[in-house]
Amino acid sequence: MNRKELKQQYKESRPPMGVYRVHNKVGDRTLLGTSNNLPAMLNRQLAQLKMGAHANRELQQDWNQLGPEAFEFEVLDTLAPPEEPDYNPAADLSVLEALWLDRLAPYDERGYHKRPTAKL
């Protein structure tokens, strides 16, 4: 393949999408999230923590106290998109995230998520 073909192939390939986890191995706490570009999102999470600018203050505090060796960044589940070019993964990613939130229950002392409030 020449350079132009490789560039086109790269543009057409889709990055892996799905559910990721930032896991505090010392405190056994979890932050779950979804992304339509898992490698980029995991890199972003790590960069924000290293810069001291993560949006989740509890996670940032634990990172500052325990250091990077206490954490692992992992992909929990991936979504295989259909071949349709206009496919929007938002709804499917939301369902996957709900399943993992239910499975791991990363609330209170087990995680960095706020417990969902009951809807009336």
At 68-112, the pLDDT tens digits run 999 999 999 999 878 887 889 999 999 999 999 999 999 999 999
| pLDDT on residue 7 | 65
The whole-number average pLDDT for the span 48-73 is 98
| pLDDT on residue 120 | 61
Q: Give the global pTM.
A: 0.85
- Considering only CA atoms, which of 17, 38, 33 is closest in space to residue 82? 17
- 118 versus 56: the higher-pLDDT residue is 56
| pLDDT on residue 82 | 80
Q: Cβ(87)–Cβ(12) under 8 Å?
A: no
56 sits in the region (left: phi over 0; alpha: psi -120 to 50; else beta) called beta
Q: Cβ(18)–Cβ(38) under 8 Å?
A: yes
| pLDDT on residue 54 | 98
| Dihedral, 48, 53, 56, 60 alpha carbons, nearest 10 | 80
Q: What is the pLDDT of residues 2-24, one digit of tens each?
A: 887 766 665 567 789 999 999 99
